């Protein structure tokens, strides 16, 4: 079909209020909004001010009321436990209402925070929906994060209650979550009153008397809870994400704008129809899991597949295609790293051919830059459109991509296609003006941002301004750099800050540096993200030892690696910690991380004019070569 993209995009910018008010009609509101966009307190904008609704009602009860109670809402497929379970909309509504009752019985009122630290089990999605049902604000913490990360989130969100499980399963390894949770609570200053713990048969959790409650027993005792009406501008959740320091940012998501935007994306971006089946191969701990395992698909009446497994190894690289065949999945959304892993294990696509994939019409990729060869391989092997799209935890949904539901535009490998309706995307130079087509600059969004984007940071309005709005007045700085070509196609190339993307996981090298610097023998350090064929990027540490240290270098390196895993989590494992004599710096003392990255990645670099001592770069190059990590050395 001819694409309606141009016309719809233009309208969304010319008349944003009219455009999004129309989109909001697709949902059930308890009270209509007074103002589509409240712009009375810039730079803080609020969508659907005065409106009231309930996100859980719109995801579940609404479909039951409309006669779709027997439609499957959620499929839990867990090769690691050999389990497949189906929940219809009616069943999921009942389960969520019971859990909401149990949460309420712990004294949780609307606006109270509940922390969720869970593996990929259906109870994790139920926990999020149950909080939404009673107006509690959930904060999901990714299961791969260590106790210290958990503690910093507990201290910031101050949850009265924690919902957790005894363990997660990583391929063939059982990871006991409860000791991690106990340690997190022991180290946090703020103490949650209770923890409701789901006992899984793979590992039994020790319960703390008086604080911990058994999930099954607590749910069985409580009366089901109804949906409460909340303001469209009330927070639905806080999701912490990596910034430039060890102090993560609490991204706030509202109820109204979020519901409208996600519902819109299912139809107009992902091109889905109610009743179809969608799978986001992510984790509920990431924004992709929030938006596209739980809220988006259910809001729109789809069947969502919650997969507890990995794209490879559970049992092999054919698992996605087995899932497509078994559950008649119509579209998959996953990170490019998953595809690189699949391609590595099944280069000829033999496993792809083994399964019936007739239902699968589109593959969506996001979470990190997708290298063109991976897209080309997926297109060739799957023979369906492969759509790259770009967004962030802050936006909550796609900012630039190819709107399949509006009629697909031709794909250009390496580009995420065009800005999506609602997002006024600019590429700015350091002077804050738009650069010419083809020129690299900072990607920024003109304010106000589209509905569903983070209106602020949790209890940190000023940090929101400092982090995103100060650099280019009137714009939100995405911290990504890239360019727009002559045809209006957007190319997202790199981050402009300390954030790196490791196997689709967003991590802060600044946070890692804080951990490395805490080692008693380390005088100074730098952590950079270097290119990795499978994971996109991996962190690499450089350490300078304190003068007079007696500990052998290899011991310090090993201890530093272990410290990062212990303090941040296994997902942040450093590729190596190289002991160097000095770090390359500018004369003003700024560490030249970008130059070190260029050396490791084999990219041309210019000798920085302000470098303190150029010889240090040769030393760094030597260390990288010795470790087999310098791909090429530029002059
Ligand atoms: N709980 C506990 N530990 C976890 C975890 C979790 N939820 N998720 C990952 N880990 C651990 C892993 O077990 C691994 O530990 P190890 O170093 O002791 O082996 C470590 O963290 C690194 O995990 P990961 O980055 O996932 O690498 P991997 O080599 O295990 O798997 C891929 C590689 C590509 C298969 C995997 O990264 C993947 O599926 N990526 C998809 C990305 C994704 O879903 N991104 C979400 C945003 S869209
Ligand atoms: P997260 O907040 O974890 O979703 O990470 C967001 C960051 O991941 C973005 O700011 C980008 O740096 C990167 N990213 C996400 N999707 C893409 C994409 N399709 N292309 C390039 N980079 C991407």
CB–CB of 188/155 below 8 Å?
yes
> Residue 170: CB within 6 Å of ligand 1?
yes
Q: Which pLDDT does position 452 carry in this prediction?
A: 98
* Residue ID of nearest Cα to ligand 1 atom 18: 570
Query: How far is the C-alpha of 142 from the C-alpha of 146, rounded, in Å?
Result: 9
Q: Is 421 helix (H, G, I), strand (E, B) or coil?
A: coil
Query: How far is the C-alpha of 395 from the C-alpha of 397, rounded, in Å?
Result: 5
> Residue 338: CB within 6 Å of ligand 1?
yes
Query: Which tens digit of pLDDT belongs to each residue from 386-401?
Result: 999 999 999 999 999 9
CATH architecture classification, 5-309+389-482: 3-Layer(aba) Sandwich (3.40)
Where residue 631 falls among pLDDT bands split at 50, 70, 90?
low
Where residue 304 falls among pLDDT bands split at 50, 70, 90?
very high
* Residue ID of nearest Cα to ligand 2 atom 9: 392
> Residue 337: CB within 6 Å of ligand 2?
no
> Residue 241: CB within 6 Å of ligand 2?
yes
Confidence check: pLDDT of 429 > 60: yes
CB–CB of 298/27 below 8 Å?
no
Which region, left, alpha or beta, applies to residue 379 given φ > 0 means left and ψ of -120 to 50 means alpha? alpha
CA of 365, closest atom in ligand 2 = 19
Mean pLDDT of the chain: 95
Pocket test for ligand 1, best of 503, 536, 565, 566 (most atoms within 8 A of CB): 503
* Residue ID of nearest Cα to ligand 2 atom 5: 392
> Residue 140: CB within 6 Å of ligand 1?
no
Confidence check: pLDDT of 635 > 50: no
Of 36, 14, 34, the residue nearest 23 (C-alpha): 36
> Residue 63: CB within 6 Å of ligand 2?
no
CA of 337, closest atom in ligand 1 = 34
* Residue ID of nearest Cα to ligand 2 atom 19: 390
* Mean pLDDT along residues 54-79: 98
| Domain ranges, ordered by start, for the chain | 5-309+389-482, 503-626
CA of 534, closest atom in ligand 1 = 34
* Residue ID of nearest Cα to ligand 2 atom 10: 392
Of 56, 93, 61, the residue nearest 224 (C-alpha): 93
> Could you give the strand order of the β-sheet that contains 331-334, starting from the edge strand earlier in sequence?
83-88, 72-78, 303-307, 277-280, 331-334, 362-365, 386-388
Of 67, 62, 54, the residue nearest 133 (C-alpha): 54
CA of 494, closest atom in ligand 2 = 12
Where residue 282 falls among pLDDT bands split at 50, 70, 90?
very high
Q: At what angle do helices 178-187 and 147-157 cross, to 10 degrees?
A: 50
Share of the chain above pLDDT 70, in %: 99
What is the greatest pairwise CA distance in the chain? Answer: 75
Confidence check: pLDDT of 351 > 90: yes
Where residue 32 falls among pLDDT bands split at 50, 70, 90?
very high
Provide the 10 A C-beta neighbour count for residue 400: 27
The token pair that represents 47 in the structure block = 């969508």
Within this chain, domains 5-309+389-482 and 503-626 share the same CATH topology: no
Ligand nearest to the CA of 146: 1
Query: How far is the C-alpha of 631 from the C-alpha of 620, rounded, in Å?
Result: 13
Query: Which tens digit of pLDDT belongs to each residue from 305-326?
Result: 999 999 999 999 999 999 999 9
CATH architecture classification, 503-626: 2-Layer Sandwich (3.30)
CB–CB of 171/80 below 8 Å?
yes
Q: 């079909």: which residue's tokens?
A: 1
Distance from the alpha carbon of residue 392 to the mean position of ligand 2, in angstroms? 5
Query: Which tens digit of pLDDT belongs to each residue from 167-215?
Result: 999 998 999 999 999 999 999 999 999 999 999 999 999 999 999 999 9
Distance from the alpha carbon of residue 281 to the mean position of ligand 1, in angstroms? 12
Confidence check: pLDDT of 382 > 90: yes
Exposure of 483 in the CB half-sphere (CA atoms within 13 A): 10
Ligand nearest to the CA of 479: 2
CA of 119, closest atom in ligand 1 = 7
Ligand nearest to the CA of 170: 1
Pocket test for ligand 2, best of 443, 506, 508, 509 (most atoms within 8 A of CB): 506
* Residue ID of nearest Cα to ligand 2 atom 11: 368
Provide the 10 A C-beta neighbour count for residue 543: 24
Query: How far is the C-alpha of 271 from the C-alpha of 376, rounded, in Å?
Result: 22
Ligand nearest to the CA of 144: 1
Confidence check: pLDDT of 628 > 90: no
* Candidate from 249-258, 543-552, 597-606 with smallest mean pLDDT: 597-606
pTM for the model: 0.94
> Residue 442: CB within 6 Å of ligand 2?
no
CA of 173, closest atom in ligand 1 = 13
Where residue 152 falls among pLDDT bands split at 50, 70, 90?
very high
* Residue ID of nearest Cα to ligand 2 atom 15: 367
């Amino acid at each position: 079909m001819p694409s309606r993209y141009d016309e719809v995009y233009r309208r969304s910018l010319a008349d944003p209020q009219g455009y999004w008010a129309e989109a909001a009609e697709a949902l059930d509101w308890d009270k209509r909004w007074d103002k589509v966009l409240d712009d009375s307190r810039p730079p803080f904008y609020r969508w659907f001010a005065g409106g009231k609704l309930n996100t859980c009602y719109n995801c579940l009860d609404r479909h039951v009321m409309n006669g779709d109670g027997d439609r499957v809402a959620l499929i839990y497929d867990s090769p690691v436990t050999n389990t497949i379970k189906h929940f219809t909309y009616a069943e999921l509504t009942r389960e969520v209402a019971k859990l909401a009752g149990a949460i309420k019985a712990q004294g949780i009122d609307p606006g109270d925070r509940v922390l969720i630290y869970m593996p990929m089990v259906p109870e994790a999605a139920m926990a999020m929906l149950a909080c939404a049902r009673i107006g509690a604000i959930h904060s999901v913490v990714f299961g791969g994060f260590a106790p210290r990360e958990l503690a910093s989130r507990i201290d910031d969100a101050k949850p009265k209650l924690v919902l957790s499980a005894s363990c997660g399963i990583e391929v063939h390894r059982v990871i006991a979550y409860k000791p991690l949770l106990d340690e997190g609570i022991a180290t946090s200053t703020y103490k949650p009153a209770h923890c409701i713990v789901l006992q899984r048969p793979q590992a039994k959790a020790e319960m703390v008397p008086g604080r911990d409650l058994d999930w099954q027993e607590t749910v069985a005792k409580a009366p089901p809870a109804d949906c409460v009406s909340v303001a469209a501008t009330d927070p639905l959740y806080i999701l912490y994400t990596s910034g430039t320091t060890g102090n993560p940012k609490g991204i706030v998501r509202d109820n109204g704008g979020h519901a409208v935007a996600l519902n819109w994306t299912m139809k107009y971006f992902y091109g889905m129809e109610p009743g179809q089946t969608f799978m986001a191969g992510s984790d509920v701990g990431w924004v992709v899991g929030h938006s596209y395992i739980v809220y988006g698909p259910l809001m729109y009446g789809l069947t969502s597949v919650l997969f507890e497994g990995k794209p490879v190894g559970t049992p092999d690289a054919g698992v996605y295609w087995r899932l497509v065949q078994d559950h008649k999945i119509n579209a998959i959304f996953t990170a490019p790293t998953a595809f690189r892993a699949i391609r590595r294990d099944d280069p000829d696509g033999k496993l792809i051919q083994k399964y019936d994939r007739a239902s699968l019409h589109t593959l969506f990729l996001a979470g990190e830059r997708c290298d063109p060869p991976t897209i080309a391989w997926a297109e060739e092997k799957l023979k369906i459109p492969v759509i790259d799209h770009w967004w962030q935890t802050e936006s909550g949904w796609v900012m630039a991509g190819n709107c399949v539901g509006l009629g697909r535009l031709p794909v250009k490998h390496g580009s995420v296609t065009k800005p999506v309706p609602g997002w006024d995307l600019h590429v700015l130079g350091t002077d804050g003006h738009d650069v010419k087509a083809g020129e690299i600059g900072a990607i920024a969004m003109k304010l106000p941002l589209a509905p569903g984007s983070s209106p602020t940071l949790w209890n940190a309005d000023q940090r929101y301004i400092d982090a995103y709005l100060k650099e280019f007045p009137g714009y939100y700085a995405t911290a990504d750099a890239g360019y727009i070509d002559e045809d209006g196609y957007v190319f997202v190339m790199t981050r402009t800050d300390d954030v790196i993307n490791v196997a689709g996981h967003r991590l802060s090298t600044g946070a890692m540096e804080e951990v490395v610097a805490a080692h008693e023998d380390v005088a100074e350090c730098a952590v950079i993200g270097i290119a990795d064929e499978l994971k996109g990027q991996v962190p690499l540490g450089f350490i300078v030892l304190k003068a007079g240290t007696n500990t052998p270098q290899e011991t310090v390196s090993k201890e530093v690696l272990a410290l990062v895993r212990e303090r941040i989590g296994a997902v942040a494992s450093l590729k190596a910690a190289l002991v160097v004599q000095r770090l390359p710096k500018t004369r003003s003392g700024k560490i030249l991380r970008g130059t070190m990255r260029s050396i490791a990645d084999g990219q041309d670099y210019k000798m920085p004019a302000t470098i303190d001592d150029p010889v240090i770069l040769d030393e760094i190059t030597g260390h990288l070569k010795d470790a087999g990590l310098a791909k090429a050395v530029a002059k």
